[in-house]
Amino acid sequence: MSENVGRWLRDEIEDAILSYEFAPGERLDETVLANRFGVSRTPVREALMQLDAIGLIEIRPRRGAVVIDPGPHRIYEMFEVMAELEGLAGSLAARRLDNTSREAITATHSRCEQSAGAGDSDAYYYDNEEFHKAIYAASRSDFLEEQCVQLHRRLRPYRRLQLRVRNRLSTSFSEHCAIVDAIFAGNGDEARRLLRTHVGIQGERFSDLVASMASR
Amino acid sequence: MSENVGRWLRDEIEDAILSYEFAPGERLDETVLANRFGVSRTPVREALMQLDAIGLIEIRPRRGAVVIDPGPHRIYEMFEVMAELEGLAGSLAARRLDNTSREAITATHSRCEQSAGAGDSDAYYYDNEEFHKAIYAASRSDFLEEQCVQLHRRLRPYRRLQLRVRNRLSTSFSEHCAIVDAIFAGNGDEARRLLRTHVGIQGERFSDLVASMASR
DNA sequence: AACGTCATTCTTGTATACACGAATGTTGAC
DNA sequence: GTCAACATTCGTGTATACAAGAATGACGTT
């Protein structure tokens, strides 16, 4: 449990939303949440305020909080921005790479190789996350890293859906290889381009996303 | 005053921070704020929670809230991300431009022309803001627009400092012209490139920023 | 004189109580 | 039978009270 109940609740509710335990559009009753977590309404409200500021829920004055339902179109927009930010991170990483970052990228990359080779999509899901975070860190831009991590977190559930798609695992990993090559070669423009297409969801991948969302 | 005291306070405190009334590093005492605004501590705390989530202040458990002090380096990083996002907005705007957006851009652009011609840096400051917002909207990506507006807001005070620099007004406006041309010509890559350099702070402009920050 | 320990005080964190607006269900009229 | 007005209920918004941890200062010891 975090330092104080408010933050703990924020993380707890955030996780519940990102894992669809609290479905999009669902109403979040303060009293119910307070009882469920065995605390008073005060920290619950504080947690909700923060989630509202982050953009995960919407608090309509006097009318309670509801989980935001980002339709396929908005999710596409979020991936579009994510692609842009990751592209920037990649290009900076290529320019500024040092030994520490290089090793972190290599380590996470080879872990991806293992889980992709084993066809373990759950393991790959985590390793992939670490790989991308290694690139954010390698950008040496704290602000960019924070923005990337936050957006990455919000997109987590949809990323997971994507990995279920047939052949996506090996495709993803081979894209990683090219990205690593570009970064290690110091080719910022290439790293940017590759990351943009790796992260963005164009063409049939968007239809896949819509389909997998609809099937839930 | 907004719908509820909490939100009102959030905006109020946010403005106070962005206008340096609450200086970076300053401690924000809940009781003092409550007295100052004539409310109880509860809504003050809720406002602070939100500002913490946005990243304007930092709340250290049991040790109170302090206004975050983004040093020159971090501000540079923020402009770097802003440049990237605006570049994306510009490129999308060029592709998706419709009559409504076209008119909005034209209108705000000519207002910039007037204030720049008059050498009125305060007026230009506002008109420039509207011009950029018109481009965000023209991107037709709600999420991107929100992100841009939010970051733009956080960078507002530094932008203001920048405009004070000699000749910056006319330089800025002539860059606008090129940007408008690129967007209207449907040249997304060019719009992106121009916006990136327009928004980013490279070379001597960074030194200018540091200097103007130090002189406060 | 300097440092460490303890007590006091001050501020934050949480709970509870109360006020007010919104939602809802009921009753009456057309 | 339907719709509208009103009352009731329920949930949010704010204030206050209480608990607990951190900062501060005084006192004693080395």
The answer to whether residues B24 and B119 belong to one domain is no
The answer to whether residues A149 and A195 belong to one domain is yes
pLDDT tens digits, B79-114: 999 999 999 999 999 999 999 999 999 999 999 999
Q: How does the average pLDDT of chain B come out, rounded?
A: 93
Whether the CB-CB separation of B154 and B18 falls below 8 Å is answered with: yes
Q: DSSP letter for A77, please.
A: H
Secondary element (H or E) of residue A39: none
Q: Which domain holds residue A161?
A: 72-214
The answer to whether residues B32 and B89 belong to one domain is no
| Closest CA in chain A for residue B78 | A143
Mean pLDDT, range B168-174, rounded to an integer: 91
The answer to whether residues B55 and B142 belong to one domain is no
pLDDT tens digits, A62-116: 999 999 999 899 999 999 999 999 999 999 999 999 999 999 999 999 999 999 9
- Among A132-136, B149-153, B189-193, B199-203, the range scoring the smallest mean pLDDT is B199-203
Burial (Cβ within 10 Å: 0-12, 13-18, ≥19) of residue A161? middle
Instruction: Give how many domains chain B has, as a whole number.
Output: 2
The answer to whether residues B56 and B92 belong to one domain is no
The reported pLDDT for the residue numbered A35 is 96
Protein CA at A58 to nucleotide C1' at D17, angstroms: 31
What DSSP line would sit under chain B, residue for residue? --SSHHHHHHHHHHHHHHTTSS-TT-EE-HHHHHHHHTS-HHHHHHHHHHHHHHTSEEEETTTEEEE----HHHHHHHHHHHHHHHHHHHHHHHHH--HHHHHHHHHHHHHHHHHHHTT-HHHHHHHHHHHHHHHHHHTT-HHHHHHHHHHHHHHHHHHHHHHTSTTHHHHHHHHHHHHHHHHHTT-HHHHHHHHHHHHS--THHHHHHHHHHHT-
Residues of B in contact with A93 (CB under 8 A): none
Whether the CB-CB separation of A134 and A101 falls below 8 Å is answered with: yes
Q: Across chain A, how many H-helices and E-strands are there? A: 10, 3
Q: Which residue has the tokens 């990243």?
A: B55
The reported pLDDT for the residue numbered B143 is 97
Mean pLDDT, range A118-136, rounded to an integer: 94
| Closest CA in chain A for residue B192 | A84
Q: List phi, psi (to 5°) of B184.
A: -65, -30
Mean pLDDT, range B29-54, rounded to an integer: 96
Please tell me the distance from the alpha carbon of residue A129 to that of residue A156, in angstroms, as a whole number: 9
Q: With cut-offs at 50, 70 and 90, classify the pLDDT of residue B212.
A: confident
Q: Which residue has the tokens 């924070």?
A: A146
* CATH number of the domain that residue A51 is part of: 1.10.10.10
Mean pLDDT, range B18-23, rounded to an integer: 93
| Closest CA in chain A for residue B60 | A3
Q: List phi, psi (to 5°) of B203.
A: 50, -130
Residue at a domain's end among A24, A39, A67:
A67
Q: With cut-offs at 50, 70 and 90, classify the pLDDT of residue A2.
A: low
User: How crowded is the C-beta side of A179, counted as CA atoms within 13 Å?
Assistant: 31
The answer to whether residues A58 and A98 belong to one domain is no
Token pair for B123: 């007026």
- Using alpha carbons, select from A172, A191, A162, A165 the residue that is nearest to residue A117: A172
The answer to whether residues A18 and A95 belong to one domain is no
The answer to whether residues B55 and B135 belong to one domain is no
The answer to whether residues B52 and B76 belong to one domain is no
Q: How far is A4 from chain B (nearest CA, A)?
A: 7
The reported pLDDT for the residue numbered A27 is 95
pLDDT > 60? residue A1: no
Burial (Cβ within 10 Å: 0-12, 13-18, ≥19) of residue A25? exposed
Q: With cut-offs at 50, 70 and 90, classify the pLDDT of residue B131.
A: very high
Q: Does B113 touch chain A (CB under 8 A)?
A: no
Q: How far apart are the first and last CA of chain A?
A: 31
The answer to whether residues B32 and B79 belong to one domain is no
Q: List phi, psi (to 5°) of A64.
A: 85, 180
User: Which amino acid, one-letter code, is at B155?
Assistant: L
Please tell me the distance from the alpha carbon of residue B49 to that of residue B6, in angstroms, as a whole number: 10
Q: Does A36 touch chain B (CB under 8 A)?
A: no
Secondary element (H or E) of residue A198: helix A188-199
pLDDT > 80? residue B1: no
Q: Closest nt to B3 (CA→C1')?
A: D13
Please tell me the distance from the alpha carbon of residue B100 to that of residue B97, in angstroms, as a whole number: 8
Residue at a domain's end among B36, B67, B98:
B67
Q: Does B213 touch chain A (CB under 8 A)?
A: no
Largest CA distance in chain A: 56
Q: Which residues are within 8 A (CB) of B35 and not within 5 positions of it... i.e. 6 or more apart? A: none
The answer to whether residues A20 and A119 belong to one domain is no
Please tell me the distance from the alpha carbon of residue B119 to that of residue B167, in angstroms, as a whole number: 10
Burial (Cβ within 10 Å: 0-12, 13-18, ≥19) of residue B143? buried
Residue at a domain's end among A20, A43, A67:
A67
Please tell me the distance from the alpha carbon of residue B25 to that of residue B19, in angstroms, as a whole number: 14
Query: Which A positions 184-203 lie with beta carbon below 8 A of chain B?
Result: none
Please tell me the distance from the alpha carbon of residue B46 to that of residue B28, in angstroms, as a whole number: 13
- Among A1-10, B55-64, B152-161, B179-188, the range scoring the smallest mean pLDDT is A1-10
The answer to whether residues A45 and A100 belong to one domain is no
Q: How far is B167 from chain A (nearest CA, A)?
A: 30
Q: DSSP letter for A40, please.
A: -
Q: Does A170 touch chain B (CB under 8 A)?
A: no
pLDDT > 80? residue B199: yes
Please tell me the distance from the alpha carbon of residue A179 to that of residue A211, in angstroms, as a whole number: 28
Question: Which residues bind near strand D, taking a CB cut-off of 7 Å?
Answer: A 27-31, 41-42, 45, 59, 61-65; B 4-6, 39-43, 46, 62-63
pLDDT > 70? residue B203: no
- Angstrom distances, CA of residue A14 to CA of A52, A156, B132: 11, 12, 33
ipTM: 0.91
